[in-house]
Amino acid sequence: MSKNIKVWCLSAVAAMMVFALLFTATAGNRQVSAGQDNGYHGKPAKYVFYFIGDGMGMPQINATEIFKGVQSSNDPMYSEKLNFAAFPYLGMQTTQAADTFITDSAAAGTALASGYKTNSAFLNVDPTKRVKYQSMAELAKAKGMKVGIVSSVSLDHATPAAFYAHQPHRNNFYEIALELTDSGFDYFGGGGLLAPTGKKKDQPDALAIAAQKGYKVVNSHNEILNLGQQDGKVIAIQPGLAGEQAMQYEVDRTSQLSLADFTRKGIELLDNPNGFFMMVEGGKIDWASHANDAVTTIRDVAAMEDAVAEALKFYAKHPDETLIVVTGDHETGGMTIGFAGTEYKTAFGKMAQQKISFEDFDKKIKTYRETVGAHGANLSDWLPVLAADYGLVDLTAYDRERLSAALNASMLDKKQRSKDEHSYLLYGTYEPFSVTVTHILNQKAGIGWTTYAHTGVAIPVFARGVGGEAFQGYYDNTDVAKKMINIMGLTQ
């Protein structure tokens, strides 16, 4: 090593140490919050609902409108406008993160909750990870409003976490859970926690810590339904959750509580003379669109519409004090109403018989794989199942070819499956047979998909009530938060 290089290396190491010290010294010491004078100078909104359909772009909304029309009318050209799409005020928000045009839910959640751009995967910290952002929920709590956070996915997932957590990575689930217990928010409802005892399962249980900090933690149907204001701060977790700690897809839901149930309970618990802020996330719209499963997507959009209906009932009683904002954080799947094979035709009625999400269908495939082994699959075994679960009957030769290839791929152990470019385009990381079934069904209905990830198109914002007119126009996702912070009178 020459002397010059040695000097350079030492200097570099020294610089890195200074940087590291500086980072340690400043990280978390600076907290900022955003507001915007958007022309609203009226009385602050007292009751604020913020509905976020994760992955819900205009295609997901329009597809739900056409699907609901098919279900509720004999008129093939009837489409039923969603309750929030009929709100008087509409805007469009751009969604890019600080580092990518296609955002993830953490950067988008930070923008929507706190009004700042950051990198994908970051939660309420700036791209240098030195500055923490305060969300509108934190500001509302500080002002004396009650605060509720509801999600159909786990409560520590990126979108709900963006309202109370500040982490350099969205996957810091234990740290996020600890921030939840410190939030002092009044109501958490819906999914559970992904790592309540940490990554190594060696930490004190976050729900026990929450209980110590005064939270009533309930996770039975009746306990949740019986919650009242006398219970104080509560964490209400849907009973019987599986590994992902998320609520069921609406299409699979039987007697379990719905997103609307959790929203109605939230209103009951939060209603008080100082007002409240409640964020409700339809989190699995995104998951269903990642999997390119249109009906499961649509049914979850409809479930969010049902939750919005609860807010509208409250709004009807307090029209002059309530603001409802409904938006998405990004589009997922590159969903389009239109597909090459169907050209100008749609036939959403063909999707009306789907009774099962891709996730529940995956379980059937797993059972079959365990029964017949890697080379025992026969598409004809599945034809009655496809008819029963999806109403999928009119298969072309090309459909059968695609289905057989996918079924064979699904019979292999995941490690044995082809990882080549073509296979990835066909199936992503999903169960090949499952995603091929929904692709074919969706395509026959006239729906196309381009990706298993998110897309970068602008997203609609619908608003009703106090200050709602401020949400008109074409602006950035950070502006949604700035407008809300201003209308809630939280500008610092």
Q: What are the residues binding its own copies (CB under 8 A)?
A: 58-59, 62, 66, 77, 79, 85-86, 88-92, 94, 96, 98-102, 104, 120, 331, 334, 336-341, 343-346, 396-398, 420-422, 424-425, 428, 446, 448-458, 460, 462, 472-474
Q: Which helix (H) or strand (E) holds 183?
A: helix 173-183
Residue 226, classified by CB atoms within 10 Å of its CB into exposed (0-12), middle (13-18) or buried (19+), is: exposed
Q: Which is nearer to its own copies, 98 or 352 (CB)?
A: 98
Q: Which helix (H) or strand (E) holds 160?
A: helix 158-161
Which residue in 386, 353, 390, 358 sits closest to 289, CA to CA? Answer: 358
Nearer to its own copies, 213 or 345 (CB): 345
In the complex, the smallest distance separating the C-beta of residue 355 from its own copies, rounded to whole angstroms, is 24
Q: Could you tell me the smallest distance in angstroms from the CB atom of residue 116 to its own copies? A: 15
Let me know the angle formed at the C-alpha of 128 by 122 and 130, rounded to the nearest 5 degrees.
Answer: 90
- Alpha carbon distance 227, 255 (integer Å): 18
Across 5-153, the runs of DSSP E, i.e. the strands, are 30-32, 47-53, 89-94, 131-133, 146-151
**Complex with its own copies: residue 96 or 172, whichever CB lies closer:** 96
Give the nearest distance from C-beta 341 to its own copies in angstroms: 6
Of residues 79 and 245, the one with the C-beta less far from its own copies? 79
Q: How far is the CB of 203 from its own copies (least distance, A)?
A: 31
Cα–Cα distance, 291 to 280 (Å, whole number): 22
Q: How far is the CB of 122 from its own copies (least distance, A)?
A: 14
Select 125 or 137, whichever has its Cβ closest to its own copies: 125
> Given the structure tokens 């933690």, which residue do they identify?
217
Closer to its own copies at the Cβ: 121 or 309? 121
Q: What is the CA radius of gyration of the chain?
A: 24
Q: Which two tokens stand for residue 354?
A: 């789907």
DSSP string, 314-379: HHHH-TTTEEEEEEES-EES--EE--TTTTT---GGGGTT--S-HHHHHHHHHHHHHHH-TT---H
- Closer by beta carbon to its own copies, 450 or else 492: 450
Nearer to its own copies, 242 or 340 (CB): 340
> Minimum CB separation from its own copies for residue 451, in Å?
5
State the Cα–Cα distance between residues 419 and 422, nearest whole angstrom.
8
Distance, in Å, from the CA atom of 69 to the CA atom of 264, rounded to the nearest integer, reads: 26
Q: Shortest Cβ distance from residue 245 to its own copies (Å)?
A: 24
Contact between 118 and 127 under an 8 Å Cβ cutoff? The reply is yes
Pick the closer one to its own copies by CB: 5 or 340: 340
